[in-house]
Amino acid sequence: MFKPCNRYILIERTQLDDEDWGSCIELPEDYCAPGLAHELVEIKAIACAVKPPLATGQRVVVLRHMIEEVDFGEGKVYLILENNVLGIVGENIR
């Protein structure tokens, strides 16, 4: 279990298949191909300082290069700061 703090949001990323990259060229890990600047993710947990309308279970669009991968020995988690969320995707958005 991981509880984010300080305006961080715990997210679940959608994994891209290797064939989605369409290339056999090896690039640096943090390289962001054109057209892949954004990513649709699901919010798993939020810090208490994060204000509505963001909530657990929502799907949001974020800046891909701002996603932080944290490995603290119990598996990797992915975090993003509240201000790097560009918008909410789905029905019944207020």
What was the pLDDT predicted at 24? 65
Distance from C-alpha of 21 to C-alpha of 8, rounded to nearest angstrom: 29
- Has residue 19 been placed in a domain? no
Confidence at residue 41, expressed as pLDDT on a 0 to 100 scale: 96
Question: Could you give the CA distance from residue 88 to residue 94 in angstroms, rounded to a whole number?
Answer: 10
Q: What is the pTM of this model?
A: 0.77
């990323």: which residue's tokens? Answer: 13
Q: Is residue 61 part of a domain?
A: yes
Check residue 36 and give its pLDDT: 80
67 assigned to some structural domain:
yes
Residue-level pLDDT, tens digit, the chain, 94 residues: 899 999 999 999 976 554 455 556 676 766 555 568 899 999 999 999 998 899 999 999 999 999 999 998 889 999 999 999 999 998 766 6
Is residue 23 a part of any domain in this protein? no
By residue range, what is the domain housing residue 2?
A: 1-13+35-94
Quote the pLDDT of residue 18.
Answer: 47
Which structure tokens are listed for 39? 């990513």
Give me the CATH number covering residue 59: 2.30.33.40
Q: How many domains does the chain have?
A: 1
